[in-house]
Each structure stands twice: as structure tokens, then as C-alpha cells.
Amino acid sequence: MASMALSLLVLTTLALIAGALWLRSRGGSRKQATLMLVLAAVLAFNVAMWTLPGKSGESLIGAAKE
């Protein structure tokens, strides 16, 4: 279940980046495109936080599965 949530976070991150670039290229609101990129960065940070190993060598997702 957790891996599916991480997969959805990655897909959402990619969709937000693509949407922000598309919105900006069409002359849309610069503020909305920037906020979309900020949200994509927050989601990417969350994915990295859950998947990268910590000092103990285990990731949060690995610890959650136990």
C-alpha cells in the first residue's frame, strides 16, 4: 500500500511539473505555475524522505513495512 502511495506521489509530481510548464508556455498565470512547481518540490522531498536510507541504513518505507 505504501509503495502505491509513493508511486502516486511521483506521478503527481511529474504531472505538476508538466502542467506548470504547459501553463507558463501558454501565457497563463505565473503565480499558479510557480505554486505548482513549489508543490512538486514538496512532493519530491516527501518521496526522497521516505525512500532514502537514514543513518541506520534503513529507509522510512522499510521501517513502516515491519
| Cα–Cα distance, 6 to 12 (Å, whole number) | 10
Cα Rg for the chain, rounded, in angstroms? 15
2, part of any domain: no
Q: What cell numbers appear for 18 in the block? A: 508538466
Give 66's pLDDT tier (boundaries 50, 70, 90).
low
The yes-or-no verdict on residue 14 having pLDDT over 80 is yes
pLDDT in tens, 42-63: 999 999 998 888 788 887 777 6
Q: Which amino acid is at 24?
A: R
pLDDT at 60: 76
| Cα–Cα distance, 52 to 63 (Å, whole number) | 12
61, part of any domain: yes
Q: Give the chain's domain count.
A: 1
12, part of any domain: no
